[in-house]
Amino acid sequence: MKVYIIGAGPGDPDLITVKGLRLLQEADVVLWTDSLVNEELVNRARAGAEVIKTAGMTLEEMVEIMADRVQQGKMVARVHTGDPAVYGAILEQMVLLKQRGVEYEIVPGVSSVFASAAALGAELTVPDLTQTLILTRAEGRTPVPEREQLKDLASHHCTIALFLSATLVKKVVDDFLEAGWSPETPVAVVYRASWPDQKIVRSTLEHLAEDMRANGIRSQAMILAGWALDPHITDTDQFRSKLYDKEFTHRFRRGIPS
């Protein structure tokens, strides 16, 4: 028996993977973060499963329960919001589980960054515009290493996704401007992507702070910045990938020279 660390997806209970749902339904014990994971999903655990909320617990308490139940021969599902690999704080759990000789396995989930892109109808890597997506956060109470300061990352002028940064927009905007981004650069904010009360705010660097304030967005928001988020990008035929280009040869199709 082991602990399955499962990505629950961004909110919509249908956005968990088939494998994640199957394991959740088989589990004897389900631990979930009640502030972030949709309760509807947890209600799909099997009748009689022990369901435990973890929002008020310490790391040690949580690991103690997981280790204890596995040692009793029970199957444990630890459900995380989005994908567990980004800002999931799973490493510290894995370290303690390993120390106690408890096996674990990670099942990926749909991260809020991709649910947000879907809500916006955006491609984050647009041919000839940007081929890079940076996932990061603004520095607040949690420090960000010196070599990863936002103004340095922004110097790449690619698409940048900011987690955990809704209360730090003033600093975010300053860093982008300092890196040479124009004040008109599109920024899209998705509040509670895929939840029934999802909200989309399309803005620009220069108006971001006031637009977020006007919409009362202070948490549970994904900020996506860069020209890939241009709301008019679907009105142009300018950006095309090579993949479907009729002159481009690749492994599955021979190109036709014009």
- CA-nearest of 148, 124, 144, 156 to 223 is 124
Cα-flanking dihedrals φ and ψ of residue 104, to 5°? -145, 160
Q: How far is the CB of 168 from ligand SAH (least distance, A)?
A: 11
- The residue number whose beta carbon is nearest to ligand SAH equals 82
Cβ-based nearer residue to ligand SAH, 6 or 65 = 6
Q: How far is the CB of 235 from ligand SAH (least distance, A)?
A: 26
Strands 159-163 and 221-225, sheet pairing: antiparallel
Cβ-based nearer residue to ligand SAH, 89 or 243 = 89
Cβ-based nearer residue to ligand SAH, 129 or 167 = 167
Q: How far is the CB of 243 from ligand SAH (least distance, A)?
A: 27
Distance separating alpha carbons of residues 257 and 203, to the nearest angstrom: 42
**C-alpha gyration radius of the chain:** 21
Residue 174: CA count within 13 A, CB half-sphere: 7
Do the Cβ atoms of 105 and 4 come closer than 8 Å? Answer: yes
Binding interface with ligand SAH (CB under 6 A): 10-11, 81-83, 86-88, 111-112, 116, 163-164, 190, 192-195, 220-222
Q: How far is the CB of 237 from ligand SAH (least distance, A)?
A: 31
Across the strands, what pairs with 190?
Answer: 200, 222
Cβ-based nearer residue to ligand SAH, 78 or 192 = 192
Cβ-based nearer residue to ligand SAH, 164 or 169 = 164
- CA-nearest of 248, 209, 203 to 226 is 203
Which two tokens mark 256?
């036709």
Cβ-based nearer residue to ligand SAH, 66 or 164 = 164
Q: How far is the CB of 145 from ligand SAH (least distance, A)?
A: 18
Distance separating alpha carbons of residues 219 and 66, to the nearest angstrom: 29
Q: How far is the CB of 81 from ligand SAH (least distance, A)?
A: 5
